[in-house]
């Protein structure tokens, strides 16, 4: 088991008002799973994703990632956890505009303390893996949206994380580039990586092995409704 | 670290104008400090040089009554003070720290030196053959005193360049005849000191006393002096010390030796030989000129403070402009130290670049100032090092708050903001 969430709740404070966003989320993900989370806007998908990605802490409940208790960790320890176990793919790519594709991909490896030569080699390999062998020296603004997202995927996978988290990875792309991204995800999943993906589009969600729905902060996982 | 510095330069280059305007406070502050310190140092060096005589390390030992130098302008010979013999002079040269000793007598007022009915107002000296070497005079033209001049009691005089220009403006002095106390003296040569005398702090009377040599010097032999001014007058000793630092002790030991050997009944007469402590006087003058410049240093420091606050401000702007970048880096696993280091590096690269420009500007300004106002400047290397270190420090200090803010940023807040 890669991760396990038990009764995760998250609320935000607006002034003195407590606004609950997530209610009693329970979720377990096994190695090799490919999960899609669907839900209407404002239902708490990104909030859940942030907690899954150790970017944010739950208000209550227990979250274990690779056996580690996330809630107990501090800022720096969380950074280490993210670096080690999680690859992120964001809707709007979030590449460093001043860095080449190669340097972007090598960035998390630098934080992991991989020596320069090895990290460039691994970054090259990751870029080859997403079909961008020809574009390593390009800056993000010299690449198309689909190419940028592939660079982002290469960056997410370069550190060989246990878990790939994607928040609307095709949201900013046309159908054709979206298809390419989904093909890449299939490939990555086929090689044994675990993927959790947020999406609006049923066609995209259909490519996952499991589709969960979130509504008003409550998650329903197929096969577990009875519980 | 090197990557950070490289990134910082790229960032600064990307915002050229903004970075330059931010650096301006630092540039001005550092330039002002470098200029002021260079001017102070130049002035101090000049004071020291003028007072001490540029590496000649000569200290004068003269007869004092109480704390005051004995006024001998009436030509008294004091029964209780005996003339210093050659044997004693040689003994003095063997004292610790003493290299050479010259003996001389001196008048400033009432010397009655005339040329064609016009009185000359400078110094007149009766000197032995050691005087010129001790003070570092060299011959410009004509000839120096020869042994025959002394042996045959020839009435001859050597002038320095200032005396020539005040007595014989525009004329060749050699061969001319001066009237000293009614006796005719022939000018045989002109000498000059290797170091130039130039007053710097004109407001200080003390300084004038030592630096105002503008009316010059007329030199006679000891024998010539006796013809004009009378016999057995007490001498002064010009003591050349081993080093500038040895001047005080060398002067003092010569003075003590002379006081003990040459003066009878020194208690009742309240007479003694004393050395003028030029080094001490130079230091006093320096602290005076320093304090007048302290104010300027404070102004420069305030300018640096303002510059530092400007840097802090622009770094805060830079941090909020780059929330995305920071959020992303943190999401990808960058720890606080790394973000902190990035922004501290950027701030200190910014300020040290400003410091560098300030140092260059300050050196340029000091040079310009010394040209325009004819004041001496000396570029102080320690000041440059301190200024460079200081500008890096300003970056670290004023960059700390923005950098901490960046390092503490919550990655989701940073990523969410669009
Ligand atoms: N920092 C915050 N402070 C207060 N409320 C927040 C904060 N972040 C999210 N929320 C609220 O939590 C709810 C869920 O937000 P979230 O971003 O998770 O929705 P989402 O499912 O990702 O929506 P979308 O599909 O539009 O991206 C929203 O009502 C939002 O207003
Ligand atoms: Mg969202």
Q: Which of chain A's residues have a Cβ under 8 Å away from the Cβ of B413?
A: none
B18 and B98 within one domain: no
**What mean pLDDT is predicted for residues A167-183?**
91
B104 and B169 within one domain: yes
Question: Which B-chain residues 190-229 have CB contacts (< 8 A) with chain A?
Answer: none
Residue carrying the six token digits 């080859």 = A128
Residue A47 beta carbon below 6 angstroms from any ligand 1 atom: yes
**What mean pLDDT is predicted for residues B135-163?**
89
Tokens of B200: 């710097």
User: CB-based contacts of A166: which residues, under 8 Å, 6+ apart?
Assistant: A88, A89, A90, A185, A195, A196, A197, A198
Q: Ligand 1 pocket check: which of A44, A214, A216 to mutate, most ligand atoms within 8 Å of Cβ?
A: A44
- What is the overall mean pLDDT for chain B? 83
- The string of DSSP codes covering B123-162 is EEEEE-TTHHHHHTEEEEEE----HHHHHTT--EEEEEHH
Residue carrying the six token digits 């000891």 = B222
Asked whether residue B199 carries a pLDDT value surpassing 80, the answer given is no
Asked whether residue B316 carries a pLDDT value surpassing 60, the answer given is yes
Residue A21 beta carbon below 6 angstroms from any ligand 1 atom: yes
Could you give the ipTM of this predicted complex?
0.94
User: CB-based contacts of B264: which residues, under 8 Å, 6+ apart?
Assistant: B80, B81, B82
Per-residue model confidence as pLDDT tens digits over B84-107: 888 899 999 999 889 999 999 988
Would you say residue B333 lies in a domain? yes
Q: Which of A66-70, B76-80, B194-198, B310-314 has the lowest mean pLDDT?
A: B194-198
B183 and B289 within one domain: no
Q: Which of A181-195, B131-145, B168-182, B190-204 has the lowest mean pLDDT?
A: B190-204
B70 and B30 within one domain: no
CATH assignment of A3-220? 3.40.50.300
B63 and B38 within one domain: no
Q: Which residue among A56, A76, A111 sits closest to B332, beta carbon to beta carbon?
A: A111
Q: How far is B291 from chain A (nearest CA, A)?
A: 51
Q: Which of chain A's residues have a Cβ under 8 Å away from the Cβ of B415?
A: 55, 90, 94
Q: Do residue A76 and residue B411 have CB atoms under 8 angstroms apart? A: no
Would you say residue B201 lies in a domain? yes
Closest residue of chain B to A112, computed from CA coordinates: B333
Distance A46 CA to ligand 2 centre (A): 4
pLDDT in the model for residue B282:
66
A30, A154, A171, B267 from A184: Cα distances, Å: 20, 10, 16, 110
Per-residue model confidence as pLDDT tens digits over A109-158: 999 999 999 999 999 999 999 999 999 999 999 999 999 999 999 999 99
**What mean pLDDT is predicted for residues B300-318?**
91
Q: How many CB pairs under 8 A join A and B?
A: 47
B103 and B22 within one domain: no
Q: Do residue A96 and residue B325 have CB atoms under 8 angstroms apart? A: yes
Closest residue of chain A to B409, computed from CA coordinates: A75
B80 and B6 within one domain: no
- What is the overall mean pLDDT for chain A? 92
DSSP H helices in B219-277: 222-229, 247-262, 266-269
Q: Which of chain B's residues have a Cβ under 8 Å away from the Cβ of A53?
A: 331
pLDDT in the model for residue B145:
92
**What mean pLDDT is predicted for residues B276-302?**
71
Given its phi and psi angles, is residue B116 left (phi above 0), alpha (psi -120 to 50 degrees) or beta?
Answer: left
Closest residue of chain B to A54, computed from CA coordinates: B331
Q: Which of chain A's residues have a Cβ under 8 Å away from the Cβ of B410?
A: 56
**What mean pLDDT is predicted for residues A67-89?**
93
Domain limits for position B338: 2-50+283-416
- Between CA B312 and CA B287 the distance in angstroms is 36
Query: Does B329 contact chain A (CB < 8 Å)?
Result: yes
Q: Which of chain B's residues have a Cβ under 8 Å away from the Cβ of A57?
A: none
B101 and B230 within one domain: yes
Would you say residue B255 lies in a domain? no
- Domain end point (choices B243, B269, B293): B243
B89 and B65 within one domain: yes
* Domain locations along chain A: 3-220
pLDDT in the model for residue A53:
94
**What mean pLDDT is predicted for residues B388-407?**
94
Residue A83 beta carbon below 6 angstroms from any ligand 1 atom: no
- Between CA A216 and CA A210 the distance in angstroms is 20
B313 and B230 within one domain: no
Q: Whose CA is nearest to atom 9 of ligand 1?
A: A47
- Domain end point (choices B243, B268, B296): B243
Closest residue of chain A to B412, computed from CA coordinates: A55
Residue A150 beta carbon below 6 angstroms from any ligand 1 atom: no
A122, B36, B124 from B216: Cα distances, Å: 84, 33, 9
B45 and B80 within one domain: no
pLDDT in the model for residue A96:
92
**What mean pLDDT is predicted for residues B157-173?**
86
B179 and B107 within one domain: yes
Would you say residue B364 lies in a domain? yes
Q: Which of A24-33, A58-67, B41-50, B230-239 has the lowest mean pLDDT?
A: B41-50
Q: How many domains does chain B have?
A: 2
- Between CA B218 and CA B161 the distance in angstroms is 10
Per-residue model confidence as pLDDT tens digits over A153-169: 999 999 999 999 999 99
């Amino acid at each position: 088991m890669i991760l396990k969430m038990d009764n995760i709740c998250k609320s935000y404070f607006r002034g003195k008002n407590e606004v609950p966003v997530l209610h009693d989320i329970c979720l377990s993900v096994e190695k090799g799973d490919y999960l899609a989370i669907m839900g209407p806007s404002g239902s708490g998908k990104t909030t859940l994703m942030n907690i899954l990605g150790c970017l944010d802490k739950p208000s209550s409940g227990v979250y274990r990632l690779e056996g580690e208790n996330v809630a107990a960790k501090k800022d720096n320890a969380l950074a280490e956890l993210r670096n080690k176990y999680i690859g992120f793919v964001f809707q709007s790519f979030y590449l460093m505009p001043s860095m080449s594709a190669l340097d972007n991909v090598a960035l998390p490896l630098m934080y992991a303390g991989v020596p320069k030569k090895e990290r460039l080699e691994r970054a090259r390999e990751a870029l080859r893996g997403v079909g961008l062998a020809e574009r390593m020296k390009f800056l993000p603004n010299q690449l198309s949206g689909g190419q940028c997202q592939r660079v982002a995927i290469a960056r997410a996978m370069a550190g060989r994380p246990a878990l790939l988290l994607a928040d609307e990875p095709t949201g900013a792309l046309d159908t054709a580039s979206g298809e390419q991204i989904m093909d890449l995800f299939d490939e990555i999943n086929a090689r044994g990586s675990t993927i959790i993906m947020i999406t609006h589009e049923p066609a995209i969600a259909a490519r996952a092995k499991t589709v969960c729905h979130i509504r008003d902060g409550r998650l329903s996982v197929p096969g577990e409704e009875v519980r | 670290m090197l990557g950070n510095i490289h990134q910082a330069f790229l960032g600064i280059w990307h915002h050229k104008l903004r970075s330059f305007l931010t650096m301006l406070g630092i540039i001005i502050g550092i330039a002002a400090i470098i200029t002021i310190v260079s001017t102070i140092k130049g002035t101090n060096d000049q004071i020291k040089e003028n007072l001490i005589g540029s590496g000649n390390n000569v200290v004068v030992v003269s007869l004092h009554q109480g704390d005051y130098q004995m006024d001998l302008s009436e030509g008294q010979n004091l029964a209780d003070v005996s003339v210093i013999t050659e044997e004693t002079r040689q003994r003095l040269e063997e004292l610790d720290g003493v290299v050479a000793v010259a003996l001389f007598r001196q008048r400033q007022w009432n010397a009655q030196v005339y040329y064609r009915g016009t009185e000359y107002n400078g110094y007149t000296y009766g000197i032995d053959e050691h005087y010129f070497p001790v003070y570092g005079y060299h011959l410009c033209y004509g000839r120096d005193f020869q042994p025959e001049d002394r042996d045959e009691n020839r009435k001859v005089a050597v002038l320095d360049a200032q005396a020539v220009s005040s007595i014989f403006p525009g004329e060749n002095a050699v061969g001319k005849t001066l009237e000293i106390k009614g006796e005719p003296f022939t000018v045989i040569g002109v000498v000059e000191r290797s170091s130039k005398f130039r007053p710097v702090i004109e407001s200080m009377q003390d300084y004038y006393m030592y630096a105002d040599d503008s009316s010059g010097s007329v030199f006679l032999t000891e024998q010539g002096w006796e013809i004009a001014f009378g016999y057995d007058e007490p001498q002064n000793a010009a003591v050349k010390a081993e080093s500038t630092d040895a001047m005080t002790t060398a002067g003092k030991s010569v003075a003590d030796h002379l006081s003990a050997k040459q003066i009878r009944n020194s208690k009742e007469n309240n007479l003694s030989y004393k050395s003028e402590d030029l080094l001490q006087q130079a230091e006093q003058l320096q602290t005076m000129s320093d304090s007048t410049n302290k104010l300027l240093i404070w102004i420069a420091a305030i300018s640096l403070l303002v510059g530092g606050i400007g840097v802090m401000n622009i770094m805060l702007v830079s941090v909020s402009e780059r929330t995305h970048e920071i959020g992303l880096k943190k999401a990808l696993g960058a720890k606080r130290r790394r973000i902190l280091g990035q922004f501290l590096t950027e701030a200190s690269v910014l300020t040290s670049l400003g410091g560098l420009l300030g140092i260059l500007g300050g050196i340029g300004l000091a040079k310009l100032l010394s040209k325009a106002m004819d004041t001496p400047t000396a570029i102080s290397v320690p000041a440059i090092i301190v200024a460079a270190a200081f500008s890096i420090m300003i970056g670290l200090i004023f960059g700390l708050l923005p950098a901490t803010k960046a390092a503490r940023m919550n990655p989701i807040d940073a990523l969410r903001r669009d």
